[in-house]
Every structure is written in structure tokens, then in C-alpha cells.
Amino acid sequence: MTLNQWDDNILILELLNEPDFSEDTDSLILKLQSENETFPNVIIDLQNVSTLNSSNLGALIEIKKLLETKDKRMVICNISDSIWSTMLATGLDQVFEFIEDTTTALLLIGS
């Protein structure tokens, strides 16, 4: 998993296609569930992901819920047209926060 702790307040998760996607999101969920300290905001980078399945979407929803309980944000960036189509078709475009790229997400969350 490419998990980069940008600073104390921001964690960047660079995901890959299956099976790495599920392994990486499961690892992050466990990390978020087990830590008693403050949670970081999370940027999910989907630049290297070409498709999402229902399990992938469920994992993203779980991460978002965990973060919301601690008043933290999850931002998804670098999505392809096919992933955007999936988000539109499932209505998740209204659930998740999307930013064009990682740099812009860092600026938004860091401010």
C-alpha cells in the first residue's frame, strides 16, 4: 500500500486496481478503527485505478464514515471518466467529495 503521511493532519492513500485495492482499503480501515489518537484527513488518490466494484465502493463509504465520526474529511482525487461514471450511476457523486488532483486536495485540506 502506498500510504503517505503528508503531515499530522493529512494522510494520502494511493490506490491500485484489485486485489491491491481491497487489501489497502482494509488496512486503512483497521488503522482508523484501532487508533485512539487523532485521525488525519484522508486523500484517496485513484490515479492508478481503472474500475471499482461494489466492495471497493463499500470500503470507501466505510472510510468516510469512520472519518466523519472524528470530524475529519475524505477527499477523492485523480479519477478517470469510467470511475466518475460509476459514481454518477450509484449516486455516490453526492456522497463523496471530489477534487481534481492531489496538489489541489492538499491545498484545500491543509487550509
pLDDT per residue as tens digits for the range 12-58: 999 998 888 899 999 889 888 876 667 889 999 999 999 999 999 99
Averaged confidence pLDDT in the chain: 90
Q: ∠ at Cα 62 (46, 64), nearest 5°?
A: 65
Better-predicted residue by pLDDT, 3 or 58: 58
Identify the residue whose cell numbers are 503528508.
6
pLDDT of residue 103: 92
Q: Report the C-alpha gap between 61 and 12 in whole angstroms.
A: 16
Q: Report the C-alpha gap between 18 and 76 in whole angstroms.
A: 18
User: What average pLDDT does this structure show over 80-98?
Assistant: 95
Which fold, 2-110?
Transcription Regulator spoIIAA (3.30.750)
pLDDT of residue 91: 95
Q: Report the C-alpha gap between 2 and 16 in whole angstroms.
A: 9
